[in-house]
């Protein structure tokens, strides 16, 4: 009976959070805040919450749904002029989103075994998940599309200049995203964990 209730909770949870991901992708400012070449994203927090509450597999599923939508948007209506060149590649649009769930989920499982309080484990897991997205998306952009990025930003195409601009995005986008995830994910995940355990 408890196993059946757990399966129902899992399916309902995944369905609700899939709907949230879809809404965040298509309603302005709920999932993306436009800021130059790359948007500040809040959607990674949704993926992290699922990874913490249900585990890395379900986090990867929700991350994959986000990645699939990102890939579709790059073809249909890109969020910025550079997105249509970068996010049509699944290595940039899909793989990092899946790995958010994997890394955040496994990080939480490992950190729960330490002396950290549960909220601390959730916060650190959220930071790890957020930085996974930032590092992989921007890292792939640098490795695969540095010339395209340099042309879009109207900067010299040499590797050092592009690298410094990419690191600037880490500071202006990645750090605020990680802080937001650190604060919001535990606040939402903690009550959901209690609900799940009933």
22-50: per-residue pLDDT in tens? 999 888 777 777 665 566 788 999 999 99
Determine contact, residues 120/182, Cβ cutoff 8 Å: no
Interacting residues of 124 by C-beta distance below 8 A, sequence separation 6+: 107, 111, 116, 182
Any idea which of 13-22, 64-73, 121-130, 170-179 has the lowest mean pLDDT? 170-179
Interacting residues of 151 by C-beta distance below 8 A, sequence separation 6+: 157
Work out the percent of the chain whose per-residue pLDDT is above 70: 95
The predicted pLDDT at position 3 comes to 75
Digit-coded pLDDT (tens) for 13-24: 999 999 999 999
How crowded is the C-beta side of 129, counted as CA atoms within 13 Å? Answer: 40
Helix axes 56-76, 2-26, angle to 10 degrees: 20
pTM of model > 0.85 = yes
Digit-coded pLDDT (tens) for 95-114: 999 999 999 999 999 999 99
Residue 134 reports pLDDT greater than 70? yes
Cα gap 170→166, rounded to integer Å: 7
């Amino acid at each position: 009976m408890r196993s059946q209730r757990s399966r129902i909770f899992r399916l309902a949870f995944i369905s609700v959070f899939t709907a949230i991901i879809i809404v965040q992708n298509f309603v302005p400012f709920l999932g993306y805040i436009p800021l130059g070449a790359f948007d500040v994203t809040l959607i990674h927090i949704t993926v992290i919450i699922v990874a913490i509450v249900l585990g890395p597999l379900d986090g990867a599923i929700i991350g994959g749904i986000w990645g699939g939508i990102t890939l579709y948007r790059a073809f249909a209506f890109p969020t910025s002029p550079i997105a249509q060149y970068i996010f049509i590649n699944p290595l940039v649009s899909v793989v990092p989103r899946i790995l958010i769930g994997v890394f955040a989920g496994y990080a939480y499982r490992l950190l729960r075994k330490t002396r950290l309080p549960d909220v601390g484990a959730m916060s650190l897991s959220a930071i790890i998940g957020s930085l996974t997205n930032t590092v992989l998306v921007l890292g792939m952009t640098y490795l695969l599309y540095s010339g395209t990025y340099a042309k879009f930003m109207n900067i010299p195409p040499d590797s050092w200049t592009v690298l410094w601009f990419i690191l600037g995005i880490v500071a202006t986008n990645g750090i605020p995203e990680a802080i937001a995830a650190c604060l919001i994910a535990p606040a939402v995940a903690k009550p959901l964990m209690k609900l799940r355990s009933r």
